[in-house]
Amino acid sequence: MKSEKMLFLTSAEIRSLLSLDECIDAVEQAFRLYGEGKAEPPAVLSVHAANGGFHVKAGLLRLQRSYFAAKVNGNFPTNRTRCGLPTIQGVIVLCDYENGTPLAVMDSREVTSLRTGAATAVAAKHLARRDSRAITICGCGNQGRVQLRAISRVFRLQTVFAHDSSKERAAQFAVEMTSALNVPVNVVTDLTSATRQSDICVTCTPSRIPILQRNDVQPGTFIAAVGADNPEKQELHPNLMAGNKIVCDILEQCAVMGDLHHSLTAATVNRNDVHAELGEIVAGKRPGRESNHEITIFDSTGMALQDVAAAAFLYEKAERSGTGVRLDFAA
């Protein structure tokens, strides 16, 4: 029996095939399908290492074709200073869900970065005030860049504050993003002063202690907590989570590895205090923002269906364009 050749895509090829706007559309569709009950809950497995850790995220989506994807990511925050390697490295394997045929193997870094920013953009559409113009980005690495670009696709930003533990990194971020977005990006050392002036706050750091507390934000703020993707990481203090509108990407996942996890442990909230999963809001089953005064929080731990949606889009576009290398493992 003739086998289907497997596609191999590099980071450069992924960048040429998948725009941020296309990724936002694909990720929003994935959340909608999940919210409508048309996709099974995805799975995650985490393994800790001395300087970081690995996680495997897997799920399936029934699109024009049914796809299964599994992503294996290594996340080592000290890599750049320790050994000159990226923080995140890994691969995504895309398969035909109906018969198990491996269809593609692709670098995971670009996909992870884009789909994480895309999820924040989708959440912001439903949870941030429509008149939002000022944003604080806490964490000025690659993910901070993608987060700012993604939010700028949804809102007409006028003021950007950039905060990072490294002044040099924040300064470089400000120069690059001011040029890229034609919006002034201001480096700040006083995070609280910035967040109190912001309509949107995005935290995308490897922090293991809270960096935002209840008094650090004003009523009406939308917060996207992106960095806590394992049980040891934490960006939001439990007192900020308590009494505010919490929306998870995946409740079960956030309960064991997101900022929700720490609030549950501290007993400042319980699972019933979670307003919704993002998919329920995108699908119209639960309301998003309901007033200009409420503080809304998106606990983003990274849903595998985001990876499936992006990988499927890449595979189909690469097949149409002839991009990438095709390998026959059965030869």
Tokens of 123: 């959440």
Residue ranges in 84-236 assigned as alpha helix (H): 108-127, 142-152, 167-181, 191-195
CB–CB of 142/118 below 8 Å?
no
Q: For residues 177 and 253, give the distance between their C-alpha atoms in angstroms, rounded to a whole number.
A: 32
- CA separation for the pair 288, 122 (Å, rounded): 11
Distance CA 237, CA 294 (A): 17
Q: Which two tokens stand for residue 323?
A: 């991009």
Tokens of 141: 């690495």
Q: Which residues contact 65 (CB under 8 A, 6 or more apart)?
A: 96, 312, 316
Cross-strand pairs, 160: 135, 185
Q: Return d(Cα 46, Cα 54) in angstroms, integer.
A: 6
Distance CA 154, CA 143 (A): 17
Residue 38 annotated in active site: no
**Which helix (H) or strand (E) segment is 325 a member of?**
strand 325-327
Selecting among 2, 38, 71, 233, the annotated active-site residue is 71
Which residues are marked as active site? 71
